[in-house]
Amino acid sequence: MKRTKMINTKNEAINNGQQLKRTAGLADIFFMSFGGQAPFLSMLTYATAALILTLFFSPIVLIIGTLVVLINGLGVYYLSRKHDEEGGYFNYAYKSLSHRFGFETGWIYLFYSLLYAGGYIVGSIFVLTYVLAPFVVIPPVIAFLIVFLPTAAFLLLGIRPSSKYAVFSASLELIVLVFVIIAGLYGAHFMVYNPFTSIPSPSIIFLGILFAIGIPTGYGAITPVSGEVKNAKKNIGKAAIMVILIGGLLESLVLYSLVDYGIASHSFTALITTNVPVITIMNRIAGPLALPLLLFAAINDGILGSLAFLTAFSRNLYAMSERGIISKSISKLHVKTGTPVIAGIITLIATLIIMLPLISLVNAFTIFLALGSIAGLGNLMVHLTANFSLLKVNLIKASRKVREYAVGLTGIIVSGFIFIYSLLTSDTYQIELVLGFIILGFIIIEIMDTKNYFKATAETGN
């Protein structure tokens, strides 16, 4: 009787717009997260870096990177089958570890998702200004608004319109990527090459893998929106695995076709020494079609990539508010759309505060690389806590959940090793920024706990 009453109360709250509504299906969430990979922009940075380092072996490096990411993806897969509430990584740590680790994980996720979103916006700005430079000079602020305004509109409209846009535009991008693969192989007269004929040293391969794991990152934006996904315990994990495998392997094929074309046309060495090899190769392959394809990919990736991570940022903020860790007013929903409007507005303000000074003062491509590197460190920290959550859940029941226990432990070892190595090879300012943000989170939770302690003491009169 009591359980029935609780269910009725929960349903009534949903109907009154007090809780998020589950409107997104598997296809919606898959294409949102696939768009969150920003496939073309990822080719310009992560895949290009892997190409320059490992040359002919680079497509294999991307496949290895995909498999490494899959380890963390499996951790998310198992955790999402246990928790279907909004908040994702924050919620996993909050429930499995402690409220303090929950706050710290949510805090780091805000840092990571906002910087990833900003990185995709800046990457889009760079491509727009670069490819249009021979025809017209676009101020960075105008290019920023071209991407940011539609992103902001979709974010405030809610998950349903955003997911429908993602299904349409990410499907088109999927077609464009397949077109690039076919065009590259066609340009090479379908004379495929063997990537194993020249294998770099293990240290160079490892550096290439560090860049490659940045490609299938879109799944990191899936879990915070769990509260708006139908049958979330099944669909969230499934979408995460699909996005990692399809996105990572597709990018590997794109890179293979571009390298194959470079070899067949006897221009590989000249191509990789250009400023942006992928754009140069696409210009040669597609000819007059290259400009509209590049413009579409740049704008579309900028919107999809930033929308996925800004939506995740706002839902993470909403979940932290809903749990009472931060101000409850942030979890207020729009009466008609059921969207976390306050969390959405805070998300957009935070984006403007960070992005406008950066694009006004620093070169867009430099910002793109810096934000991606810093966000990548935050990404590893978030997945470390997720794997610790999975490990703790199965620590006592290891005999019955051996597979989950093994995935959690492997994820901790792999992510921990990559995180430490990344710290050792990153610029000093990047390390200081990441570690400073983590320490700031611990200071904030200490202050909040102290405040709650004195408040409770005052109320009890002790």
Q: Tell me what pLDDT residue 342 has.
A: 93
Report the distance separating Cα 20 and Cα 311, nearest Å: 13
Q: Is the predicted pLDDT of residue 3 greater than 60, yes or no?
A: no
Domain boundaries, the chain: 23-448
Q: Tell me what pLDDT residue 388 has.
A: 86
Q: What's the mean per-residue pLDDT of the chain?
A: 84
Q: Tell me what pLDDT residue 271 has.
A: 72
Q: Tell me what pLDDT residue 256 has.
A: 93
Report the distance separating Cα 315 and Cα 221, nearest Å: 10
Structure tokens of 283?
């210009």
Q: Tell me what pLDDT residue 400 has.
A: 59
Selection from 415, 418, 309 nearest residue 76 by Cα: 415
Element (H, E) at 338: none
pLDDT in tens, 279-327: 887 788 777 888 888 888 889 989 999 999 999 999 999 998 888 888 8
What size, in residues, is the chain? 462
Q: How far apart, in Å, do the first and last CA atoms of the chain sit? A: 38
Q: Looking at residues 206-217, what average pLDDT do you find?
A: 83
Q: Looking at residues 334-360, what average pLDDT do you find?
A: 89
CATH label, 23-448, candidates 2.40.160.40, 1.20.1740.10, 3.90.1150.10, 3.40.30.10:
1.20.1740.10
Q: Confirm if 255 and 185 have CB atoms less than 8 A apart.
A: no
- Banded pLDDT at 17 (limits 50, 70, 90): very low
Q: Confirm if 261 and 281 have CB atoms less than 8 A apart.
A: yes
Structure tokens of 92?
């996993």
CA-to-CA separations, 319 to 76, 226, 305, in angstroms, rounded: 17, 10, 21
Structure tokens of 63?
């496949």
Return the SS3 of 230: coil
CA-to-CA separations, 11 to 18, 159, 335, 362, in angstroms, rounded: 10, 20, 16, 50
Report the distance separating Cα 104 and Cα 425, nearest Å: 24
Structure tokens of 277?
């090899």
Tokens 């000093």 map to which residue? 428
CA-to-CA separations, 155 to 103, 345, 373, in angstroms, rounded: 24, 9, 25
pLDDT in tens, 119-128: 889 988 988 8
